[in-house]
Chain A
Amino acid sequence: EAGVAQSPRYKIIEKRQSVAFWCNPISGHATLYWYQQILGQGPKLLIQFQNNGVVDDSQLPKDRFSAERLKGVDSTLKIQPAKLEDSAVYLCASSLLGYNEQFFGPGTRLTVL
């Protein structure tokens, strides 16, 4: 069984630029999560999707972050414009349903200069 796929693995941009991350969850998993993990900290939930609907986006900085999961499968997370404090690893995870075990992708390491 293929795991959660994410791309790119690494991204370096300058502040005020835009960036987008892509995630393909495990086949059949209805729930998809995006997390932000700052160095030395645990992951922080940005947004949770159930199929193509948003369950929780309370911690998503909506002035600069957006995410979509139009067909209920893969998802993109966008930052526009990026700030220095956005430097982090962005993890995508999926689960069969919301209360099942979450499986994490390898993450995208973003560096904002």
Chain B
Amino acid sequence: KNQVEQSPQSLIILEGKNCTLQCNYTVSPFSNLRWYKQDTGRGPVSLTIMTFSENTKSNGRYTATLDADTKQSSLHITASQLSDSASYICVVSDPSNTGKLIFGQGTTLQVKP
């Protein structure tokens, strides 16, 4: 069954600290993986997209990694800010190639001053 699992479910860190969120997937064949940021009361916004051949991709203080062999991805946030408080969702494209997405359950990050 094609699934996406994320850990931890929630995380609290102090402002300025770094953190890493994890995503494991069982989707096959693999096409691409996105990390979305969802602020409270808003829709998800794409942070990065990674294809099979990419290992690392950065977007400002956000760095995503992908290991297609172990089917794992991580999102590293450097020097966290209060505005990073949000839910982070790992999403893999469904192999049907119809545009359908397979969502993880998300990691809720709270950055405290």
- B1 on interface, CB distance cutoff 8 Å: no
Kindly count the residue-residue contacts between A and B in the assembled complex, taking CB atoms under 8 Å apart: 58
Q: Is the CB of A43 within 8 A of B103?
A: yes
In the complex formed, the residue of A with least CB distance to B43 is A104
Cα separation A99 to B108 with both chains bound (whole Å):
27
Selected contact of B43 from candidates A31, A101, A105, CB within 8 Å: A105
The reply to whether B105 and A56 form a contact with Cβ atoms under 8 Å apart is no
- A42 CB within 8 Å of chain B: yes
Interface residues on A, range: 20 to 34
Residues of A within 8 A of B46 (CB): 101
Query: What residues of B have a CB within 8 angstroms of the CB of A41 in the complex?
Result: 105-106
The answer to whether B105 and A40 have CB atoms under 8 Å apart is yes
> Could you list which residues of chain B lie within 8 angstroms of chain A, going by C-beta atoms?
4, 9, 34, 41-46, 49, 89, 91, 93, 97-101, 103-106, 108
